[in-house]
Amino acid sequence: MTRAPQLVGILNVTPDSFSDGGRYAGRDQAVAAGVQMRAEGADWIDVGGESTRPGAPEVPVGQELERVLPVVEALVAAGVPVSIDTRKTPVAKAALAAGAEVVNDVNGLRAPGMVDAIAAAGAGAVIMHMRGTPEDMLSRVTYDDVLTDVRGFLAERLAVARAAGIARLWVDPGIGFAKTADQNLVLLRRLGELGDLGAPVYVGASRKRFIGAVTGASDPADRLGGSIGAAIAAAQHGAAVLRVHDVAATRQALAVMIAVHGSA
């Protein structure tokens, strides 16, 4: 029996994110987009102030804070559950103090002080697998076995987070982060093998490059159909949470998938 995954709506307050970069010129537009995704069925809104697309440069802490904090504060005030997408401890701390409930860290909680900051706030965390940094990760795609490598990393980081006392944890194979298109497909196909880590699996495949490689859709904005396909595949392989740009369409596709699975 397949369960409907929870949905996280992507809200990038950046000029350069690969799909929605530059879309929200001001705080009010970003907040309205978050409220809209929540109304469409998102369980959380994931607010990010630094693009992590391949080749993206690091953003200074002050600038990332200026981008995300007003949006986090306004969404929290509007009653919207928020996660903060950051690999920087000061940004995580400030967002948690402003009411964010979860830290979504593409760097697997490896920054100094990150694990303790999340534990002290009583917050949850998403642990994602990545190699290197967004700037150099495309050159770090040689694995003995990609699933085994990713699972080993997640197990190690999960143990550290649990030992520090973080109670709510998710693991994420990091689709597109130091992976080739084929490796992303392998990770989705073998997602079920992450189940024995004992933490729910979180997947971010929405509009990513491998969908372009499979379908020929070179513009991320043209990858809705492929993103829905990836969401359904991930759900059928046990994903508990999906991070998506297109909340309403994904919700609709999942409802049909669940209706079919439940009607046998």
User: Which residues are known to be catalytic?
Assistant: 208, 243
Sole window of 6-14, 95-103, 190-198, 231-239 interacting with ligand HH2 (rule: CB under 6 A): 6-14
Residues 169-198 close enough to bind ligand HH2 by CB under 6 A: 172, 174-175
Instruction: Please report whether residue 126 would count as binding ligand HH2 according to CB under 6 A.
Output: yes
Interface pattern 57-96 for ligand HH2 (x via CB under 6 A): ----------------------------x-----------
Q: Nearest distance from residue 172's CB to ligand HH2, in Å?
A: 4
Both tokens of residue 163? Answer: 């030992």
Q: Which residue is nearest to ligand HH2 (CB)?
A: 204
Q: Which residue number, 193 or 261, has a Cβ lying nearer to ligand HH2?
A: 193
Q: Nearest distance from residue 159's CB to ligand HH2, in Å?
A: 19
Q: Nearest distance from residue 131's CB to ligand HH2, in Å?
A: 14
Q: Which residue number, 10 or 74, has a Cβ lying nearer to ligand HH2?
A: 10
Sole window of 16-24, 29-37, 139-147, 254-262 interacting with ligand HH2 (rule: CB under 6 A): 16-24
- Between CA 170 and CA 6 the distance in angstroms is 12
Q: Nearest distance from residue 98's CB to ligand HH2, in Å?
A: 19
CB 127 within 8 Å of CB 108:
yes
Residues that bind ligand HH2 (CB under 6 A): 10, 12, 14, 17-19, 48, 51-53, 85, 104, 106, 126, 128, 172, 174-175, 202, 204, 243
